[in-house]
Amino acid sequence: MSGELVLVTGGSGFLGAHCILELLNAGYRVRTTVRSAKREADVLAMLKAGGSEPGAALSFAVADLMADTGWPDAVAGCDYVLHVASPFPPGVPKHQDDLIIPAREGALRVLRAARDARVKRVVLTSSFAAIGYGKLPPGGQPFTEESWTDPTAKVSAYVKSKTLAERAAWDFIAAEGGKPELAVVNPVGIFGPVLGPDHSTSTEFVQRMLNGAMPGLPRLSFGVVDVRDVADLHVRAMTNPAARGKRFLAVAGDFMTVREIAQTLKTRLGDAGARVSTRELPDWLVRIVGLFNPEVAQLVPELGKVKNATKARAVRLLSWAPRSREDALVATGESLIRLGLLKKSK
């Protein structure tokens, strides 16, 4: 409904900024949290890059996931909350609690504030990480929203943090009698138009490929989805009665191998894709590198695994219609080129 107020946590992030754009385009008023008032200018610059100068339709609140301060003011008067903010570091944390505690406690902090402010519904950004790790479905079936990652399995700190944070959120809502209402979006790898130099781990992956910084590719596969479609799904889940109490996988289509992603970029981006390598590395070499590189070590358990996930629930209940995987990847590359974020060719 036009004019209702929505809180978006983490508005300076890749997905957070796109959620703000989606809400503004739909006629909502938006308040967004930043950890420091210094980031307000960054958010406004990203929105301008996305074609919006919101003026009075956007306001800011300073709040941190690790502190109670600021959250009551942030949610005051809000009809809905999109809790998008969550840590996703570029490297491996020194201790898994560096990720788990902010993710879990941050989600609970936002939910408590939303409960106290009588918010109608919270949409939590979780991840495929909370669905698709530890055990494959039987018979090669795709992962669905009924699937849960086993946090006791050998999984990365990030995967564990997203799983435990989402579990904690559902447990909180159950204990509170279902108020506020909760819906959860579980995206796969998020790509699409970058709005500024501070973008995401997924888009940095494309940036590295286009810069020629990945001379060899591991035998991995993962899902692809456009950030604009993930933002659209958040807004649909925010108001549709059918979304109450449900999770929604955000995936554009079948999972792609890293080599297929590289080939798409190389084929579709012309000269800008000239430095993209399509050479696949043998598993044994990746395992050896993993002995010395913690980031590569996290990939080793996933080598050669064939995974898939279905968007059927989001399509059926929320009439969600995402862009193609290829278009999401190309949009990432085109935006990196447009913003001058690629190394210049010699």
Q: Rg of the Cα trace of the chain? A: 20
d(CA 199, CA 204): 7
Residue 32 Cα distances to 36, 88, 174, 253, angstroms? 12, 19, 27, 31
Q: How far apart are CA 235 and CA 26, in angstroms?
A: 9
Q: What is the chain's length? A: 346
Q: Which position has the token pair 């990480």?
A: 129
> What is the Cα–Cα distance from 72 to 346, expressed in whole angstroms?
53
Distances (CA, A) of 159 to 132, 199, 214, 256: 9, 20, 24, 20
Catalytic residue among 154, 160, 162, 344: 162
State yes or no: is 160 an active-site residue: no
Count CA atoms within 13 Å of residue 271 on its CB side: 5
Annotated catalytic residues are: 162
